[in-house]
């Protein structure tokens, strides 16, 4: 049975937790996971909605803030920043021991800004300054406007988790935004070694859509295989982009590669193994961010064998073969990104509605 640390020491993959709540912070659960080898935490509006709506851990703070004339957003902003600061402090020893290459905690910019570059940059800079931790990452979606923001944020020395990536084009856009941003940062006198980024490539949602299309066409052979094939091709592209003369110039002044991060790695189809999107994507310079049930399953079941670059050409054939079934894979990935933006925005607004209702229910009687 592997430990969380074994994933890193044996395969070079950092395991992050795709969840945050006040309970796991105050109970010591997060610290216990870090002691076992957890190397980071990710969050998003859906996660904060779950954390706040399904517990009363935040009620005292909500009641206190409800005495003042504050908005639900202001309450969320205060609560989320406090949780992220607490989590970054728990992960800080990992950050220090790794020389600043790991131990990160991510917070997402307002998803309503996904198609607005300038406002995304302004909001990311606000969060960066307010949370004020070197092991913070700001999550920015890989929309065309988001990619522009990512470039500007990296050029400003801000760590970025580029999220909602589904296609190789998304990957290329983000990877080169990182490189271009680093080049600007270094040209302006910045220290390349202080800037970090991950490229969050979503996995299981691909199979969730493509499997249905394949089933409708009577094909069972490719079901459960396209998401993994897509991720492996992204890793192959990672190895190409972060090599050669252009990257070597940055590496020579301390730049770190932008690691691929496998997101959406819990299996949605109960017919698939719990660790399908863990065991099939093991390899160096990668991150896998797992919800708690998948993390627990990985520790119990995973066999730590390098798989990330197995049969890459065969995976390319699988992706290319989708066209013969009338499946436009590029359109699938664009639709998934749009749906992801909409889903996070919906969760964000649900969260604000939850907080507004909670403010009314816990507000002290005058």
The confidence score (pLDDT) of residue 121 equals: 98
139 annotated active-site = yes
Confidence at 366, pLDDT banded by 50, 70, 90 = low
The residue-averaged pLDDT of 220-226 equals 97
Which CATH code is given to the segment(s) 4-358? 3.20.20.70
* Helix pair 144-155, 117-131: axis angle to 10 deg: 40
User: Distance (Å, rounded) from C-alpha 109 to C-alpha 111?
Assistant: 6
CB 38 within 8 A of CB 17: yes
The confidence score (pLDDT) of residue 320 equals: 97
What are the residues whose beta carbons fall under 8 Å from the beta carbon of 349, sequence distance 6 or more?
Answer: none
- 292-336 pLDDT per residue, tens: 999 999 999 999 999 999 999 999 999 999 999 999 999 999 999
- 201 closest CA partner among 225, 229, 172, 171: 171
Tell me the pLDDT of the chain averaged across its residues: 96
Provide the H-helix boundaries in 194-244: 204-216, 226-241
User: 10 Å Cβ neighbour count for 194?
Assistant: 14
Write down the domain spans for the chain. 4-358
Residue 125 corresponds to which tokens in the numbers above?
């800079």
Which among 54, 139, 225, 232 is annotated as catalytic?
A: 139
User: Distance (Å, rounded) from C-alpha 337 to C-alpha 99?
Assistant: 33
Q: What does pTM read for this prediction?
A: 0.96
User: Distance (Å, rounded) from C-alpha 303 to C-alpha 300?
Assistant: 9
């Amino acid at each position: 049975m592997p430990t969380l640390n074994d994933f890193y020491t044996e395969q070079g993959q950092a395991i992050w937790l795709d969840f945050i709540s006040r309970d796991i912070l105050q109970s010591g659960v997060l610290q216990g996971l870090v002691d076992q080898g957890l190397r980071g935490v990710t969050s998003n509006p859906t996660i904060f909605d779950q954390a706040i709506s399904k517990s009363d851990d935040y009620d005292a703070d909500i009641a206190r803030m409800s005495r003042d004339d504050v908005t639900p957003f202001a309450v969320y902003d205060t609560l989320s920043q406090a949780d992220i600061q607490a989590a970054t402090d728990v992960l800080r020893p990992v950050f220090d021991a790794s020389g600043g290459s790991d131990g990160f905690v991510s917070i997402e910019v307002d998803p309503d800004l996904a198609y607005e570059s300038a406002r995304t940059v302004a909001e990311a800079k606000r969060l960066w300054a307010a949370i004020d931790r070197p092991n913070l990452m700001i999550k920015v979606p890989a929309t065309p406007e988001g990619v522009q923001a990512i470039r500007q944020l990296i050029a400003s020395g801000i760590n970025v988790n580029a999220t909602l990536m589904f296609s190789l084009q998304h990957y290329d856009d983000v990877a080169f935004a990182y490189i271009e941003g680093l080049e600007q940062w270094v040209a302006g006198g910045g220290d390349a070694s202080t800037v970090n980024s991950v490229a969050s490539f979503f996995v299981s949602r691909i199979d969730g859509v493509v499997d249905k299309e394949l089933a409708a066409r009577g094909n069972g052979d490719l079901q459960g295989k396209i998401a993994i094939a897509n991720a492996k091709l992204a890793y192959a592209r990672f190895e190409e982009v972060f090599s050669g003369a252009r990257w070597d110039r940055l590496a020579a002044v301390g730049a770190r590669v932008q690691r691929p991060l496998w997101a959406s790695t819990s299996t949605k189809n109960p017919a698939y193994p719990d660790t399908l999107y863990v065991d099939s994507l093991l390899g160096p310079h990668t991150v896998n961010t797992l919800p708690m049930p998948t993390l627990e399953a990985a520790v119990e079941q995973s066999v730590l064998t390098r798989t990330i670059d197995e049969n890459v050409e065969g995976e390319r054939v699988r992706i290319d073969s989708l066209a013969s079934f009338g499946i436009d894979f590029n359109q699938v990935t664009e639709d998934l990104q749009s749906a992801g933006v909409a889903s996070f925005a919906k969760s964000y607004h649900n969260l604000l509605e939850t907080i507004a209702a909670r403010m009314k229910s816990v507000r002290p009687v005058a």
